[in-house]
Chain A
Amino acid sequence: MIIEQLSIFLENKSGRLTEVTDTLGDSNINISALSLAETAEFGILRLIVTDPGKAAKALRQRHFSVNLTRVVGIIIPDEPGSLARVLKILSDEDISIEYMYAYAFADKASVVIRTENIEQTIETLQKHKIELLRASDVYEI
């Protein structure tokens, strides 16, 4: 149930994002989800990819600073109130979210969530019958 996300440190300079995507393309790795957090000086690119281990290796060879971060993915209906319901479950259990990003597709949406305690998060979500993404599903987000 735990998904490994690539976190890549990027300086704010032109061409770096292209280099990441080129590297992954050359290694035949598909990006399923992507989010970019930025400050004035640097950014962190977060990616869900088909083969995180291979992707990290390829990127490190190109001198990127890459970490694998454990996140959880959920699938919820694409309708009003459904994200609120999940967030309430987490906040009732005192689980705080460090960051999240989401994509809607067809009639559903998938949400990638990073919390401090991934195991507890998964347990809580399962208790409330929230559909979780399995690592093997990740390619299909």
Chain B
Amino acid sequence: MRYYDAYENLSVEDKITVQSERLRKLVHTVYQKVPFYRKKLDQLGIKPEDINELSDLQKLPFTTKQDLRNNYPFGLFALSTDDIVRLHASSGTTGRPTVVGYSHADIQLWTHMVARTLVCAGVSRNDLIQIAYGYGLFTGGLGFHYGAEKLGTTVIPISGGNTRRQIQLMQDFGSTVLACTPSYALFLAEVMDEIKVHTEDLSLRIGILGAEPWTENMRKQIESKLNIKAIDMYGLSEIIGPGVAVECEHQQGLHINDDHFFPEIIDPDSGQVLPDGEKGELVLTTLTKEGLPLLRYRTRDLTRLNRERCKCGRTLVRMEKCTGRTDDMLIIRGVNIFPSQIESVLLEMRETQPHYLLIVDRINNLDVLEVWVEIDSPFFSDEIRELESLSARIKNNIESTLGIGVKVKLVEPKTIERTEGKAKRVIDKRTF
């Protein structure tokens, strides 16, 4: 199967018609059902009737992650929870996660979008897909699961971790597609090497990798070590989860499902829309979502758009592999981490001050996060066991906030460099 549906190669004119009609409907819906948007539009003096063409989109306000947090948990939902059939959440600053809600139709849309991206990546119903993204509140596992099942692919819902078992099942079941983060794919390759499992013992042919930044160099390594085609997949839970954009076999940019998720590139400082081809922040509008429709959501991811028709025949606009972010968010083992989350944990603890440094490294192809915390008088105990218990409590509190394992190291005061009063918070030693 080459395409999943006819929308993938709509003519430019037809697509604009579809998009504008969906946009008009979206603005009416959010104005009626989401007080947050009604207030914003009223303040700007915009009526839903003023939005007719795609170019009118620029009149609309942005939505940020902070807006989601301020309206925690369900404030931006356009439906009551009676009509919401699923919630997902990501870890958040000050203990507030970002919550997303799906209606029945949203789940169907998501399923459709993932199925479409899988086909674009070269997967078919004859494949066996091993889903090594985490299942649970994280959108990765369940998002892939539904889409792959819909396509008719044989799903192995193994979830993340348990590397030996991953390799065992890969051999025994003959998995042909691996869905996980790029760093985990490399880690799997490394363990296979150790336990002398060769690519000839496996049937893998495609890796669908995403949820963290990775470079072309890393792609080459993954492709040669696992003897697969490594496809980049882009998604974020606020928009829907996995299934927003994906590469085709030509691996020349990720096709955005722009019939449902409308992309703009803006200058992150001025908020002005940039012309195609210029690099800036990706902003997405969910044209058809019901539960949590978002106008111009600022992803903070930096990329550029390419509207040329792809060799694969799809007219879905392409975005370049993301190369960075406009904020200080780190993606560690596929989990979004903001330094401020660690700061708030330390502020809540009596014995610590928010002098900390995050050291991110990639050891044996796995991201490792070390948190240095300065021990400052007068709160430190001079007993070893008290300090060790403090270190353990810091570790526990950070881990329960972030949802990933960290290493905590207590350091002397002023170890962490301060420049003009503002400390450098992150040292990222990873080379992608």
**B-contacting residues of A (Cβ < 8 Å)?**
5, 7, 9-11, 16, 37-39, 41-42, 44, 46, 60, 63-67, 69, 98-99, 114
Total cross-chain contacts (CB, 8 A): 54
A87 to B: closest C-beta gap in Å? 19
Chain A: minimal CB distance from B227 (Å): 41
In the assembly, what is the distance between CA of A66 and CA of B414, in Å?
13
Give the interface SS of chain B, mostly helix, strand, loop or mixed: loop
Q: Pick the residue among B381, B391, B412 that contacts A11 (CB under 8 A).
A: B412
Q: Are B387 and A65 in contact (CB under 8 A)?
A: no
**Contact across chains for B382 and A65 when beta carbons are under 8 A apart:** no
Say yes or no: A98 contacts B409, CB within 8 Å. no
For A16, list chain B residues within 8 Å (CB): 412
Q: Roughly how many angstroms separate A114 CA and B375 CA in the complex, as a whole number?
A: 21
Q: A9-B410, A11-B411, A11-B412 are in contact. Are A65 and B384 (CB under 8 A)?
A: no
Partner pick for A39 among B388, B412, B414, CB 8 A cutoff: B388
| Cβ contact within 8 Å between B375 and A65 | yes
Which 8 residue pairs spanning A and B have beta carbons closest together? A7-B382, A63-B414, A9-B375, A65-B377, A65-B375, A69-B382, A65-B413, A37-B384
B323 partner residues in chain A, CB cutoff 8 A: none
Complex interface bits, B221-247 against A, C-beta within 8 A gives 1, otherwise 0:
000000000000000000000000000
In the bound complex, residues from chain B placing their C-beta under 8 Å from that of A98 are 383
The minimal Cβ–Cβ distance linking B51 to chain A, given in whole angstroms, is 58
B409 in contact with A41 (CB, 8 Å):
yes
Instruction: Say yes or no for B367: interface residue by CB 8 A criterion.
Output: no
Please pick, from A39, A60, A64, A69, the residue contacting B384 in the complex, using a CB distance under 8 A.
Answer: A39
Instruction: Give complex CA distance A66, B377 in Å.
Output: 6
Please determine whether A10 and B388 come into contact, CB atoms closer than 8 angstroms: no
A63-B413 contact in complex given A42-B387, A44-B384, C-beta closer than 8 Å: yes
- Min C-beta distance of A27 to chain B, whole Å: 18
Q: Assess the A65–B376 pair: CB atoms within 8 A.
A: yes
Nearest neighbor of A37 in chain B, beta-carbon distance: B384
10 contacts between A and B (CB under 8 A): A11-B411, A11-B412, A41-B409, A44-B382, A44-B383, A46-B382, A63-B412, A65-B377, A66-B377, A67-B377
User: Are A9 and B384 in contact (CB-based, < 8 A)?
Assistant: no
Contacts of A7 in B (CB 8 A): 380, 382
Query: Would you give the shortest CB distance from B378 to chain A, in whole angstroms?
Result: 6
Most buried by A among B378, B387, B415: B387
Query: Inside 8 A of B413's CB, which chain A residues have their CB?
Result: 63-65
Measured CB to CB, the closest approach of chain B to A32, in angstroms, equals 17
Which residues of B380-399 have CB atoms within 8 Å of chain A's CB atoms?
A: 380-384, 387-388, 391
Contacts of A60 in B (CB 8 A): 377
Minimum CB–CB distance from A67 to chain B (whole Å) comes to 5
CB contacts (< 8 Å) of A67 on chain B: these are 377-378, 380-382
- In the complex, how many angstroms separate the beta carbon of B375 from the nearest chain A beta carbon? 5
Q: Is the CB of B388 within 8 A of A9?
A: no
In the complex, residue of chain A having the shortest beta-carbon distance to the beta carbon of B372: A11
Q: Which residues of A contact B410 (CB under 8 A)?
A: 9, 11, 41-42
**When A42-B387, A66-B377 are in contact, do A10 and B412 touch as well, CB less than 8 Å?**
yes
Instruction: Write out the residue numbers on chain B whose beta carbons fall within 8 Å of the beta carbon of A5.
Output: 382
B412 partner, pick from A65, A69, A99, beta carbons under 8 A = A65
Closest approach, in angstroms, between the C-beta of A30 and any C-beta of chain B?
A: 21
